[in-house]
Structure 1
Amino acid sequence: TPTAHLTRLQLNPLSTEVARDLRNVHSLHRTILTLAPDHLGDSPRQAAGILFLLEHHPRGQTLLIQSHHPLNLDALPIGYATATDERDLTPLLTWCQPGAPVRYRIHAQPQRCTRSENPERDEKGSLKRGRRIPLHGDDATQWWHENALAAGLTPHTDTTSSTAQPDMAGWKNNPAHDGKRIRIRSRVTRFEGTATITDTTALRTALTTGIGRGRAFGTGLLSIAPLTRV
Structure 2
Amino acid sequence: MFLTRFRINTARSQARRLLSSPQSTHAAVMSSFPDLLPTDTDTPRVLWRLDRTASAQVHLFIASPSRPDLTHLVEQAGWPAAATDQARGWTTYDYAPFLAGLDKGSTWNFRLTANPVHSVRNKDGAPTKRTAHLTPRHQLAWLLQRQEAGGFRIIDKPADKQHTEFGDTHQVAVSDQRTLDFPKRGAKDRVSIKAVTYDGRLEITDPDALRRLLTKGLGKAKAYGCGLMTLAPTGEQ
Given the two structures, how large is their TM-score scaled by the length of structure 2?
Answer: 0.80
Percent identity between matched residues is 23
Aligned residue for 2:210, secondary structure, equals helix
What is the identity, as a one-letter code, of the residue corresponding to 1:165? Q
| 2:115 and 2:132 in contact (8 A); partners too | no
**What CA deviation, in whole Å up to 9, does each residue of 1:136-177 have, x standing for no partner?**
222211111111221000111321111133323322323xxx
Aligned residue for 2:189, secondary structure, equals strand
| 2:115 and 2:220 in contact (8 A); partners too | yes
Query: Which of 179, 182, 187 matches 1:167?
Result: 179
Compared CA separation, residues 17 and 144, structure 1 to 2 (3 A): same
| 1:26 and 1:171 in contact (8 A); partners too | no
For 1:77 and 1:172, locate their aligned partners in 2 and report how far apart those are by CA, in whole Å: 26
TM-superposed deviation, 1:226: 3.5
TM-superposed deviation, 1:183: 1.6
Which runs of structure 2 are paired with 1:111-190 in the superposition (5 Å)? 111-115=117-121, 117-119=124-126, 128-158=127-157, 159-174=171-186, 180-190=187-197
Aligned residue for 1:192, secondary structure, equals strand
Compared CA separation, residues 38 and 189, structure 1 to 2 (3 A): closer
Give the 4+ runs in structure 1 shifted more than 6 A: none
What is the identity, as a one-letter code, of the residue corresponding to 1:14? A
Given the two structures, how large is their TM-score scaled by the length of structure 1?
Answer: 0.82
TM-superposed deviation, 1:228: 6.6
TM-superposed deviation, 1:77: 6.3
Query: Which of 50, 58, 62 matches 1:61?
Result: 58
Aligned residue for 1:30, secondary structure, equals helix
What is the identity, as a one-letter code, of the residue corresponding to 2:28? T
Query: Which of 110, 115, 123 matches 2:116?
Result: 110
Q: Provide structure 2 residue ranges, at least 5 long, that are not aligned to the other structure.
A: 80-88, 158-170
Tell me which residue corresponds to 1:97.
Answer: 103
Q: Provide structure 1 residue ranges, at least 5 long, that are not aligned to the other structure.
A: 120-127, 175-179
